[in-house]
A and B are shown apart, each in its own frame.
Chain A
Amino acid sequence: MKAGERRGMRSSLARVRGLGSAKEGVVHWWAQRVTAVALVPLSVWLAGNFVALAGAKHDVVVAWIASPVGTVLMLLSIVAIFHHAQLGLQVVIEDYVHGEGLKLATLLAVKGLAILLATIAGLAVLSISLGA
């Protein structure tokens, strides 16, 4: 690039750091991968325990969630699941919902719902774990 082609006072580095038209660079892509990697062991752990708890009574399930490992891994699973889910649904919405207003409304609804559900699930785990 010739010096005369520069836009205004911005250096080439600043232009690169502008991170494209969405201004977030690879943040979405990277977060989707990080949560995916976390969910590989977490979902195996969840699935294994759900199989072991098939038809289990209330006290058995509560004891499992209240155990230190159960509480910590369940809380981490909730965060990873809902972060991964809303990132994935965001891409689906951006692909198929074309009206700007409807797209924004759907995205806000999905992201808000993800935070709400994750908070409810987190509170449920903590109240079981702390015996509240």
Chain B
Amino acid sequence: MKSPSRPDRPRPLSPHLQIYRWQLTAVLSILHRATGVALCAGAVLLVWWLAAAASGPQAFAATQNFIGSWFGQGLLFGWTFSLFFHLCNGIRHLVWDAGWGFRMATVYASGWTVVGASIVLTTLAWVLGHAVRAGGA
């Protein structure tokens, strides 16, 4: 009998990513992982922010200056969207884990709801944040 570990020809491969048509379901799945990884980087900023707050007003002001810079604000905006998307889509995943929402039409409806909710919540957070900033200054 031939050894199963040495085939005569290369094993068949499934088609690569670019073969498939982009669909909402696949995009949201990839986005869930991407935003999760992005949030890990955001968690590092949270630690820095807390450590700076514990160190004293000077270290904290330096952190706030970084967050207030255009680069920091860009990062913060990305993390805001990542947080709300990962949160909303995470709830969608938990509902699936409970065994609900697998009809094709439902999968698309929940997917578009997640997209809409993430955009609305991100906008709301930034509008309110700017209002707080303007009010406090």
- Listed in ascending order, the chain A residues whose CB lies under 8 Å from chain B are 33, 36-37, 39-40, 43-44, 47, 50-59, 61-62, 65, 74, 81-82, 85, 88-89, 92, 117, 120-121, 123-125, 127-128
Q: Nearest 10 A-B pairs (CB), nearest first?
A: A124-B54, A54-B129, A124-B50, A58-B57, A55-B133, A58-B60, A121-B47, A54-B132, A124-B51, A54-B133
A39 to B42, CA, bound (A): 15
Is there an interface contact between B43 and A85, defined as CB atoms closer than 8 Å?
yes
Q: Which residue of B lies closest to A36 (CB)?
A: B90
Q: Encode B30-48 as 1/0 by CB contact (under 8 A) with A.
A: 0001001101100110110
Is there an interface contact between B53 and A61, defined as CB atoms closer than 8 Å?
yes
A52 to B57, CA, bound (A): 19
State whether A120 and B51 are in contact (beta carbons under 8 Å apart), knowing that A54-B133, A85-B43, A89-B40 are contacts in the complex. yes
A43 to B42, CA, bound (A): 13
Q: Which chain B residues numbered 7 to 64 have a C-beta less than 8 Å away from chain A? A: 33, 36-37, 39-40, 43-44, 46-47, 50-51, 53-54, 56-57, 60-61, 64
Q: List 21 A-B contacts (CB under 8 A).
A: A33-B94, A36-B94, A40-B91, A44-B87, A47-B80, A47-B84, A54-B129, A54-B130, A55-B68, A55-B137, A61-B53, A82-B43, A88-B40, A89-B37, A92-B33, A117-B47, A120-B50, A121-B51, A124-B47, A128-B50, A128-B53
Contacts beyond the supplied A36-B94, A81-B46, A124-B53: 20 A-B pairs with Cβ under 8 Å: A33-B97, A36-B90, A37-B94, A44-B87, A51-B125, A51-B132, A54-B129, A55-B133, A55-B137, A58-B53, A58-B57, A85-B36, A85-B43, A88-B36, A89-B37, A92-B36, A92-B37, A124-B54, A125-B54, A128-B54
B114 on interface, CB distance cutoff 8 Å = no
Q: Which residue of A lies closest to B59 (CB)?
A: A58
- Listed in ascending order, the chain B residues whose CB lies under 8 Å from chain A are 33, 36-37, 39-40, 43-44, 46-47, 50-51, 53-54, 56-57, 60-61, 64, 68, 80, 83-84, 87, 90-91, 93-94, 97, 125, 128-130, 132-133, 136-137
Chain B residues within 8 Å of A39, by CB: 87, 90
Using a Cβ cutoff of 8 Å, how many contacts connect chains A and B? Answer: 88
Chain A residues within 8 Å of B84, by CB: 47
**Of the candidates A36, A58, A89, which one forms a contact with B61 in the assembled complex, judged by CB atoms under 8 Å apart?**
A58
Chain B residues within 8 Å of A88, by CB: 33, 36-37, 40
Q: Which residue of A lies closest to B44 (CB)?
A: A117
Chain B residues within 8 Å of A117, by CB: 43-44, 47
